[in-house]
Amino acid sequence: MLYYIFQYLDKAFDVPGAGVFQYITFRSALAFILSLLIATIYGKKIINYLRNQQVGETVRELGLEGQTAKAGTPTMGGIIIILATLIPVLLLAKLNNIYIILLIVTTLWMGTIGFIDDYIKIFKKDKQGLKGIFKVIGQVGLGLIVGTVLYLSPDVTVRKDTLTSRVKIENNIKPADLEEKSTATTIPFFKNNEFDYAEVLSFMGDNYKDYAWLIFIPMVILIITAVSNGANLTDGIDGLAAGTSAISVLTLGLFTFVSGNIIFSDYLNIMYIPNSGEMTVYIAAFVGALVGFLWYNAYPASVFMGDTGSLTIGGIIAVIAIAIRKELMIPVVCGIFLAENLSVMIQVSYFKYTKKKYGEGRRIFLMSPLHHHYQKKGYHESRIVTRFWIVGILLAIFSLVSLKLR
């Protein structure tokens, strides 16, 4: 909104300073500051409102130290993250950008699913919340929307050979002529690191690329479902999900900025994705919202994000990674989410296997997800969170190294 106002003022009246709004870096910095202020200043008011409405967490008895003290802590704090993200985006981003539209839809879609889940838990007194099948239907639905838009929209294109593109631009060939529709993605740490999902169907004959959606859209659904569930599982102790998510999102923000800039993508020899750089504004607002939320969510937490926040976070991270063709980097960038997911899958599978074989279920971890295992071992939750953050930072650096190390 402000972007269009200042653009008009710059062109119509040549107002000094109005032209600065054309720069993504300026709008990103402003979005971060604004979202941080909204989350920290108005977050307290939202927490008090939730407390007055008796929107308190019902704590299951898991035998963990300090667990009972958290009963009654306001939940559904993900509303703070959503509002602190969307308000700066609506003010500062180009709202006709296809990637911004997709991220706004993702935020509202996953936020609604999480809100319904939390509402059932709190007001309907049903600890199970929204049935798992309906959550999956919601995740699959979002995956279908995102996958279909990315596959069909003419605004979603790539330029693989940025050096050749630059030469052609200098020879007055229109940039739009150099862009192409593609289902290609990036394989990290490999020299020739581009892989087209359509190649899986090469056995189908000359027109196999027409059926690339058969692979691409299910991959999008799988990634969105896996990452949103991973974020949901990670939200188990104070500050863990918000902190690790901020690290992952900031890393994806750097990937987004260089992928959307033809000069940097040329220098780093990576896929250039036109118009994707605008997502940097959204990502900056999202990081600011997460950091601002952490102000109240750090130990001892004044508010929990609930599924309203965790499902939204996972969905946004997945869509950003898919949009910039870095979805195969998710196991590294979101390594904490992966570890939490795997710990639950391994624990449940091993328990069922041993129960069938020996008549009694056995466990690999003291408790899953993984952070509860360390709680059972006697580690204080603030120590667990700090160490998980450190691991997240190491994984982020390792991911960024992939820009040149291949």
Tell whether residue 171 is among the known ligand binding residues: no
Tell whether residue 269 is among the known ligand binding residues: no
Per DSSP, helices labelled H in 171-305 are 213-234, 240-259, 262-268, 279-297
**Under DSSP, is residue 217 helix (H, G, I), strand (E, B) or coil?**
helix
186 bridge partner residues? 194
| Cα–Cα nearest to 212, from 240, 184, 236 | 184
Q: Calculate helix-pair angle for 78-92, 43-52, nearest 10 degrees.
A: 140
Single-letter amino acid code for the residue at 26: F
Task: Please write down the HEC assignment for all residues of 26-48.
Answer: HHHHHHHHHHHHHHHHHHHHHHH
Whether the CB-CB separation of 359 and 215 falls below 8 Å is answered with: no
For residue 398, give every residue at least 6 positions away whose Cβ sits within 8 Å of its Cβ, in sequence order, or none: 332
Cα(353)–Cα(387) distance, rounded to whole angstroms? 32
Cα(235)–Cα(380) distance, rounded to whole angstroms? 16
Task: Please write down the HEC assignment for all residues of 46-77.
Answer: HHHHHHHCCCECCCCCCCCCCCHHHCCCECCC
| Cα–Cα nearest to 2, from 39, 15, 42 | 15
Whether the CB-CB separation of 405 and 190 falls below 8 Å is answered with: no
Cα(158)–Cα(324) distance, rounded to whole angstroms? 10
Q: Extract the annotated binding site.
A: 232, 307
Residue numbers belonging to the annotated binding site for Mg(2+):
232, 307
